[in-house]
Amino acid sequence: MAKATILTVDDDPGVSRAIARDLRRHYGGRFRVLRATSGDEGLEALREVRLRGEAVAVMIADYRMPTMNGVQFLEAAMDLFPRARRVLLTAYADTGAAIDAINVVDLDHYLLKPWSPPEENLYPVLDTLVDIWDATSDPETPETRLVGHRWSAPSFAVREFLARNLVPYRWIAADEPEGAQLLEAAGLTPADVPLVVTAEGRVLHAPTEAELAAHVGLRTSPAADFYDVVVIGAGPAGLGAAVYAASEGLRTVLVERSATGGQAGQSSRIENYLGFPDGVTGAQLTDRARRQASRFGAEILSATEVVALEAAGSGRVLRFADGTSVGAHTVVLATGVTYRRLAGAQLDGYCGAGVFYGSAAFEAASCRGDDVYIVGGANSAGQAAVYFSRFAARVHVLLRGPDLTHSMSAYLIQQIEAVPNIDIHPCTEVAAGDGKGHLERLTLRDNRTGALREVDATWLFVFIGAEPQTQWLDGLVARDDRGFVLTGPDLPEAGGRSPRWPLARAPYHLETSVPGVFAAGDVRAESVKRVASAVGEGAMAVTLVHRYLEAQ
C-alpha cells in the first residue's frame, strides 16, 4: 500500500524547504512528504494524489500567499480530502487571522513561524493530528456506502448515526447512476431507501441502529456480566466518568443509546472549553475522549438502550432493550438531555426532511446557497449559526425573546454580529410549516403583535431547551417535577432513614436516592449546563464511586 501524504504549501522557498526537511526527518519513514509553492500548485498535487487512490493525512499551508492564501487553499482542499487534518502556518502578527480561520475551514491547529526547535513546537502538534487521522481514516479499508434520498427521514437517521459515531461513509443519492445500480443489485427500488453497503460488502436495507452498529465495527454487547461501574450515556459527563474510572483501574463499561458526544458532540465549535484556546469541534472532542477511554480499557457500547435499573442487594442490575442485562457495583447516570420539539407548529412530519433537532452539521454542504432558519438563542444555536453561515446564502436566527444577551455567551454574540449574512429576528416564533414531502415554507409569528408572515424555507434547525429522558427510572430514582435526577443534599429527607434515602449516612454529593447510583452532567437537577462542568462532574462521580466501594 502506498504511503499516505503530508503536504506543505508555502510561497517562500526557504521556509518551504525547511519545513519539508523537518517533516521528512521525523515522518519520512511512514509518510510521503510533498511541498508546493502556491495554492494552485498544492491543489494540483492533491488532485494527483486522489487520482492515484492514495490518502492525505495532514495539510500545512502558509497564511500569507499571493493569489490564494492559506485559508482559501485549505477550504478548497477540504473538498478533495475532507478527513485530512488542517494546519495553518502563520507569523505572530497573523494569529488573529488564524483564529478566525478556525470557523472557516475547521482548522485543527495553527503553527507560528519559526517553529524551531521542531521537537518542541512542530512534532508534538503533528503527532497528535496523525493519531487523530489514524483513528478516523484507514485507506486500506473499503468505505461504507449509503444510498438514500435528500428528503428521506430514514436516510437522514442513518446518516446522522454514522456521522455522529465517526464512521467513515460515502453518501450516494438514489437518483445517481451508482445509487441506482446498487439498488438494482440489491433487488430494491428508489422508494426502498435507505440502503447501506458495508465495507465488507454486506447489504443492509433500512437497518436499525443496533443492526447498523453491529456491521460497521461498533460494539453493542458487553464482554462481561459484571463490572465495577456502568456509565450510562456517552456525552461529556459519561466520557469523563469512563476515562477517570478506567484509568484508576475500575472495570468500566460505557453504554450509549445512540452516539458518543451527546449534544456537545454535535457542536460545530466549542470555544470556551479549558485547554483549547483555538476552539475544538464537538466531534473532535468526542473522538479524543472516546479514544482516551478505550486506551485506558473502558468498554464502549453503542446503539444499546438501557430500559430498567434494579437494586439487587449490594449490586445494581441494568436491563437492555434487547432483553439482556449486566450487573455492577455502581452506576453513573450521565444520560444528558434532548432538545424539545416545537409544539403546535405541525412539523413532526418533516423531521429529517427539512426539520432537524440539533445541528446536523453534515448537512451544511447541502445548504449551500439556500436560506437556513435556526430556532433558539443559546450557545448551541449561536455556534450553528456561525457554522452554517459559511454555506448558506443567509442564516435567520429566530428568538422568542428580545435579544441574545440573556442566554448566549458574549464571544458568540460578537462573532454573530461580525458575520454579514446572519440575521437576528427577535420576538419571533414558528407558527407552522408546510410542504410536499419535505419542508418548503414556514409561517412565522411576531409574539408581540401576533402578526403572521410566510417565508420560503427548506432548512430549519431547532435548539430550544432540553428535556431529560429519565422515564425509565420511574419508581426507583427520585427526580424533580421536570424529570431531572435529584442528588445529594437535594434529596428529600436526605440523611435520615426514609423511603427516599435508606441509609443512616447522608448521600454523597452526586449520589441519587439509590445508594451506589450517581448522576453527573445535564441529567442532574440544578447542574450547570456547560461541557466543562459536565466533564468535572463525571470525574467527581468516580471519586465518590471509590468512596462508596471502600465503605462496602
Does residue 195 contact residue 147 with C-beta atoms inside 8 Å?
Answer: yes
Per-residue pLDDT tens over the stretch 335-347? 999 888 888 778 9
pTM: 0.76
- Tell which residue, 268, 267, 457, 269, has the closest CA to residue 372: 457
Q: Which residues fall within 8 angstroms of residue 283, CB to CB, at 6 or more apart?
A: 164, 166, 261, 265, 361
pLDDT (tens digit per residue) in 507-539: 999 999 999 999 999 999 999 888 999 999 999
In words, the CATH class of domain 4-136 is alpha beta
Determine whether 214 is exposed, middle or buried from the number of CB atoms within 10 Å of its CB (0-12, 13-18, 19+): middle
Fold of 226-338+467-551: FAD/NAD(P)-binding domain (3.50.50)
Over residues 311-335, the pLDDT tens digits come to: 998 899 999 999 999 999 999 999 9
Residue linked to cell 469523563 = 240
Q: What are phi and psi of 380, to 5 degrees?
A: -60, -40
Percent of the chain beyond pLDDT 70?
A: 94
- pLDDT tens digit string along 504-515? 899 999 999 999
Same fold, 226-338+467-551 and 348-462: yes
Instruction: Say yes or no to pLDDT of 499 above 60.
Output: no
Instruction: Write the pLDDT tens digit of every residue in 405-430.
Output: 988 999 999 999 999 999 999 999 99
CA 187 to CA 209: how far, in whole Å?
Answer: 22
Label the pairing between strands 315-320 and 226-232.
unpaired
Q: Quickly count: other Cβ atoms within 10 Å of residue 206's Cβ.
A: 17
pLDDT on residue 500? 67
Reported as a single tens digit per residue, the pLDDT across 418-470 is 999 999 999 999 999 999 999 999 999 999 999 999 999 999 999 997 899 99
- Domain 348-462: which topology? FAD/NAD(P)-binding domain (3.50.50)
3-state helix, strand, coil in the chain (%, to 5): 35, 25, 40
- Domain boundaries along the sequence of the chain: 4-136, 144-215, 226-338+467-551, 348-462
Question: How far are the Cα atoms of 269, 324, 486 from residue 302, in angstroms, in the given order?
Answer: 24, 15, 26
Superfamily of 144-215 according to CATH: Glutaredoxin (3.40.30.10)
**Beta-strand pair 203-205/226-232:** unpaired
Residue 97's pLDDT band, with cuts at 50, 70 and 90, is: low
Pick 358 or 486 by higher pLDDT. 486
Are 232 and 333 spatial neighbours (Cβ–Cβ below 8 Å)? yes
